[in-house]
Structure 1
């Protein structure tokens, strides 16, 4: 049995164990937009909440039944199929980041897909839960037949040898892990810039701040449009209620807050569907404006 067959059969076996990936689905014109689960993360609340005004934070957490001690956000990868291309946005955590994540191959299997069916992988950014799933158990690209694409500014940041020394001790492993995976696709990756149509009907939108080169993607098919957010709007609670608050999860908190303001204005004015990597119930839905800020409305709600 060759390595690919081994991995595929291993994934199928895991899928038979009763895993139930969270999946949301909608049409974008003639194309299908689906979210596939990579599991979830377990994070200390301080990772996000530490810079925030604690007294004002508590009522928001209480409203959503959350603790400031620990969070367990979903990880939702967007999958776009237009009949010609099968595009996966990010690749998840793989087996080396957290035991609660790294189940994207099982989720694809639930849809009748294998890694070989993915024609393109578009990266929003290179944090572990978005890029560490790039490699299989043999340190080769898991999505072997896919074209890999990343924003030029994001690639340059993680490729820079100075990043590991300037990103801070808490994120140094992020830089090492990203660089190791990027080295595998160095000779084949395609880089793009803000505003560029990277594939037919898919345009890059600069949403810097969470990382220096973070990209979102606007999908347009016919009269329908959707926005793949990555981590530009990273949660359904404080990011929506207080988008101007600095979040500890963002590498440049001030820039990330400006990005959120831009995105909320655009999403609500154009009534765009969104997919957020860490938003709940599959991560797909819309945004409503309220007297207190914004609220996430999951698909089907």
Structure 2
């Protein structure tokens, strides 16, 4: 059994999934924002749904066809190209996390890029499907020419030796894996805080809760803008319809609810484009206010 298959099975992640290389695009001024697939995950439904009110949840699951025991969320990395910089938001799962994910190099090839073309990597957070792709099959940096950026709070949390003991048995592998990859970039990583302009036209937005230092990013040129929200809005169903419900995927449910609600309010009010890591059809779309909560309007809808 391959190492990633063993890890996937120990975490309850399945080994079958969806077609790869889903891509969506939009323009931001003279720049282009693209989503590039890293494959998908296969998760136990309870990983998301267990903390929610089950009676009310059932109607939403039926409406979205989510009545089975598994969820198969896409993994969509945002790629921003402004003519000078080629910026990748997160790096995907790599070869060790799940057999259905870790396809970023192939997906970049589909659009004529190699990992060496990436000039900057900005991390939303350090969960496995967002940072384990830092290393290739030989444990060497895949994006060898890139500069790396991570929020200071997120880095400090995973770097803290106490985290592996405090995070809980189900997530201990997350902590060990994050620390191992962060050690590779320890001497070169650039830190930023909530509200900082990380790169020209890219603003960090604290969206804490999914992890203690989770960051989203506003990308803007003039009046054109989009928000890259990582896992702060983690799905297209319950997170939109009932953002006030706790999700089992969030490490701090109360903080995550505040972040999710704030982002949805802004996205709907300002009619901004949205990129969500686990949203469907390439992860790109808009948010509309609904009679109850919100709805996701995908660019391919």
> What's the TM-score once normalised by structure 1's chain length?
0.93
Query: Structure 2: 5+ residue runs without aligned partners?
Result: 1-18
1:68 deviation in Å? 5.0
Q: Would the aligned equivalents of 1:37 and 1:107 in 2 still touch at CA under 8 Å?
A: yes
Residue in 2 that maps onto 1:127 = 127
Tell me by how many angstroms 1:67 deviates: 2.1
RMSD of aligned Cα (Å): 0.8
- 1:274 is matched with 274
Residue pairs, 1:166-185, within 5 angstroms: 166-185=166-185
Q: Decide whether the 8 Å contact of 2:23 with 2:34 is kept in 1.
A: yes
Gaps of 5+ in 1: 1-18
Q: Which residue of 1 aligns with 2:54?
A: 54
Q: CA deviation at 1:137?
A: 2.1
For the residue of structure 1 that corresponds to 2:39, the secondary structure is strand
Distance 1:175 1:43 in 2: 19
Change (3 A) 1:169 1:87: same
Residues 229-282 of structure 1: CA deviation (Å, up to 9, x unaligned) = 000000000000000000000000011001111111111111110000000000
Distance 1:67 1:105 in 2: 33
Residue of structure 1 equivalent to 2:212: 212
Counterpart-to-counterpart distance in 1, 2:199 and 2:246: 33
The equivalent residue for 2:9 is: none
Secondary structure in 1 aligned to 2:109? helix
- Give the Cα–Cα distance (whole angstroms) in 2 for the partners of residues 123 and 37 of structure 1: 16
Is contact 1:49–1:68 with CA below 8 Å preserved after alignment? Answer: no
Contact 2:20 2:39 in 1 (8 A): no
Check 1:129–1:68 CA distance in 2 against 1; reply closer, same or farther (3 A cut).
same
> Which runs of structure 2 are paired with 1:189-228 in the superposition (5 Å)?
189-228=189-228
CA distance, structure 1, for counterparts of residue 161 and residue 242 of structure 2: 35
Size of the aligned set, in residue pairs, is 283
Equivalents in 2 of 1:241, 1:250: separation in Å?
Answer: 17
Q: Give 1:69 deviation, angstroms.
A: 1.4
In 2, Cα distance between the equivalents of 1:174 and 1:66?
26
Q: Are residues 1:116 and 2:145 paired?
A: no
C-alpha separation between the residues in 2 aligned to 1:20 and 1:142?
19
Q: How does 1:149-164 map to 2 (within 5 A)?
A: 149-164=149-164
